[in-house]
Amino acid sequence: MVTSYHAGLLLLRLGFSGLMLTHGLPKLLRALQGNLEFGDPLGLGPTLSLLLVIIGEVICPLLIIVGWKTRWAAIPTIITMAVAAFVVHGNDPFGQKEKALLYLVAFIVIALVGPGRYSFDRS
């Protein structure tokens, strides 16, 4: 049972972080090409907003995948998904914010339970 628990945590980390990268990598590539246009849902400015989203959708999911500083790395992703669900899609129908909510719940679980044995953190 202990092995399946840690395998489950690994699958949770790899699955949700890998899928999150499909949202973040296009933003990173766009930024690297010099296109810094982005929404500004919190009034921080489009460039800073884009940088924060890249951290939450690329850098932190990569850390979570390898299981290094996992609980801390989950926090920016949690914040990114909370902003996406409750600010960016706040007035949208549930179906529009559902994906952000699913990611939000998954990364909250990762932050609460940690990465498991199959990680650099080994917790």
**Single pTM value for the model:** 0.94
pLDDT at 121: 87
Measured in whole angstroms, the distance separating CA 35 from the mean position of its chain's CA atoms is: 22
pLDDT single digits (tens) 73-84: 999 999 999 999
Query: Residue 17 in contact with residue 11, Cβ under 8 Å?
Result: no
Sequence spans of domains, the chain: 2-113
Measured in whole angstroms, the distance separating CA 111 from the mean position of its chain's CA atoms is: 11
pLDDT single digits (tens) 23-81: 999 999 999 999 999 999 999 999 999 999 999 999 999 999 999 999 999 999 999 99
How many other CB atoms sit within 10 Å of the CB of residue 58?
A: 22
Does 1 score more than 80 pLDDT? no
